[in-house]
Structure 1
């Protein structure tokens, strides 16, 4: 519910535009990564998208000139600093739920590329909730525009190095057995990671990893924490969808805290805007608190001091700035509170 309230606050505020900068120096070689989990599973409203909503979104992408590309194309473009097609979009699915099969079939029929981040511990147990190994093998052998990748939900908390390594290694072993190749891409479970988790993933020789914070991916993105917009039926209306797919990156640096796992319920957030012309137009939102006041230093440093403590394990920071063409630059981060930071939520 906090995520719903946060987005509504952002969406409504974007209807009232502040003055835009006179010049625009936007990184136009960017891509929107969309993350889906379940299709037509009404019990799971936070992660479910109705099939008709999903198909409507695909129609919007195709009818309005968007180019749906595979994740490998995006990763290669970031690595080599090469341009992407205008209005690029990447479609991903997390976990490998069986309910996604009707959506996958539609994409295959339309020859649209997508990526499956598979929770192979669950898939290998032959659960009816997940796509079968045989169906995955068939897709792998027949469709070259499907990227098979890895996620690992059976992990402890973020600071349990042994559990993280064991979870990834077990999943990689199953992946090799099914697909006869090495996995190249990884999705952090629920988008949650910290410095330790990211270091372990890098050591495992993945090409890239995706998280779950809202932002476009671009040449300055961290290849081992690529942003994605989480899709669900609550946010599936066409206006909201068009808002997302038309966003452009808001390039920032010197982000603090650097570690997305927080040790305090009253952290200080901050970042430096690479193009100062946008600084005065930025508006930022914290999940559970709505729009928050900003302190601007040296014309390009944005600092956020919370007036109240955080009260949830997952904390989203989203910052936007308007452009001349009625679109928005977007910078987001997903933070998690460590176990000892919110003991009352661990009971």
Structure 2
């Protein structure tokens, strides 16, 4: 389990959809509560999503994956009969009445040229699609793909997603400026994609995985069917589709054992989360996270929590019905010295499968 835990990610409106329950969040960025609905759909469909950045570029180990590791990932998915979909098609599959299949999504952020030169040929070799999230301001810059390379990747079956124009730290901006600029950048990028590729992306990824409730509403109102965050976890029918989790892959935790453990991961069904806001301030140096988790066949005695850079206090309270469990996670020390910190909880079910959920905290004061 240490290998699995070597890395680990607003609103008041709950949208109850017939047979499938999705949560939609909006509004405030503090003291928010997110209800993810009534739990998992009976078909049990879920999606494991991975995020990559650079391929075979050892200058940047924190965002790079070796080509041997990446090919090992693709080989594992092929040999174990996963359907590998782009992000948009995976969301369509999740919403559909299609039968349950092992499903994986490969996403690539930022549009580095190493993807075109090194990653894309391997995807073609194994016949897999992926979703490439591009920040349009960087296109053609040093180390970044050109419009022509993006066009060729798209024609070869790669979905192109919106990653804003500037890829900046939007949470560092004053709120009024933040939302105006965030929306303007989305609109501008969509226009650039349309004029250069002839398409407008239908999925979105938040720069650095950072957002607040209003930003999520802007993404939803812009017409995107889903948005990718950067907290770890598994997408299922109760996931907020404007903040889908992804497992990051880079040199420090991309060996095949780590990858395969994530590929086999099941969702931790969170019915309610408080707060759902990502943003922390100085008066919340050791933020408390409260979760209501659908118990079903989970073995609460196996629950573990992990916090980056700190030890974790875990409190578990089962209700009398046994249908859900209330869990509290809190860091034992201040997390204010880090910009982004993940609280993660994992646990096994009675069949031995591991389940995973994480919450991302962001301290915008750390530049």
Specify if TM > 0.5: yes
Residue 127 of structure 1 corresponds to which residue in structure 2?
Answer: 141
Residue 5 of structure 2 corresponds to which residue in structure 1?
Answer: 10
Is 1:157 aligned with 2:170?
yes
CA deviation map 1:106-131 (0-9, x unaligned): 212332111111111101xx214111
Residue 247 of structure 2 corresponds to which residue in structure 1?
Answer: 229
Is 1:220 aligned with 2:238?
yes
Is 1:147 aligned with 2:165?
no
Is 1:75 aligned with 2:75?
no
Q: Output the aligned Cα RMSD.
A: 2.4
Q: Report the 3-state secondary structure (helix = DSSP H, G, I; strand = E; otherwise coil) of the residue aligned with 2:77.
A: helix
Structure 1 residue 232: deviation in Å? 0.3
CA deviation map 1:77-96 (0-9, x unaligned): 3334x345422111111111
Give the Cα–Cα distance (whole angstroms) in 2 for the partners of residues 273 and 72 of structure 1. 27
Q: Which of the residues 310, 328, 342 maps onto 2:354?
A: 328
Is 1:35 aligned with 2:35?
no
Give the Cα–Cα distance (whole angstroms) in 1 for the partners of residues 261 and 104 of structure 2. 13
**Cα gap change, 1:138 to 1:257, in 2 (>3 Å):** same
Aligned length: 320
Give the Cα–Cα distance (whole angstroms) in 2 for the partners of residues 149 and 60 of structure 1. 25
Structure 1 residue 205: deviation in Å? 1.1
What is the TM-score when the length of structure 1 is the normalising length? 0.85
Q: Report the 3-state secondary structure (helix = DSSP H, G, I; strand = E; otherwise coil) of the residue aligned with 1:261.
A: coil
Q: Report the 3-state secondary structure (helix = DSSP H, G, I; strand = E; otherwise coil) of the residue aligned with 1:331.
A: strand
Structure 1 residue 58: deviation in Å? 0.8
Residue 176 of structure 1 corresponds to which residue in structure 2?
Answer: 194
Give the Cα–Cα distance (whole angstroms) in 2 for the partners of residues 26 and 331 of structure 1. 19
Give the Cα–Cα distance (whole angstroms) in 1 for the partners of residues 2 and 53 of structure 2. 19
Give the Cα–Cα distance (whole angstroms) in 2 for the partners of residues 302 and 291 of structure 1. 12
Give the Cα–Cα distance (whole angstroms) in 2 for the partners of residues 336 and 67 of structure 1. 33
What is the TM-score when the length of structure 2 is the normalising length? 0.80
Residue 217 of structure 2 corresponds to which residue in structure 1?
Answer: 199
Give the Cα–Cα distance (whole angstroms) in 2 for the partners of residues 67 and 42 of structure 1. 30
Which consecutive residues of structure 2, in runs of 5 or more, have no partner in the other structure? 8-40
Q: Report the 3-state secondary structure (helix = DSSP H, G, I; strand = E; otherwise coil) of the residue aligned with 2:260.
A: helix
**Cα gap change, 1:277 to 1:107, in 2 (>3 Å):** closer
**Cα gap change, 1:234 to 1:306, in 2 (>3 Å):** closer
Is 1:97 aligned with 2:112?
yes
Task: Map 1:33-72 to 2 at 5 A.
Answer: 33-72=49-88
Which consecutive residues of structure 1, in runs of 5 or more, have no partner in the other structure? 1-5, 13-24, 340-344
Residue 327 of structure 2 corresponds to which residue in structure 1?
Answer: 302
Q: Report the 3-state secondary structure (helix = DSSP H, G, I; strand = E; otherwise coil) of the residue aligned with 1:329.
A: strand
Structure 1 residue 208: deviation in Å? 0.8
Q: Deviating runs (4+, > 6 A) in structure 1?
A: none
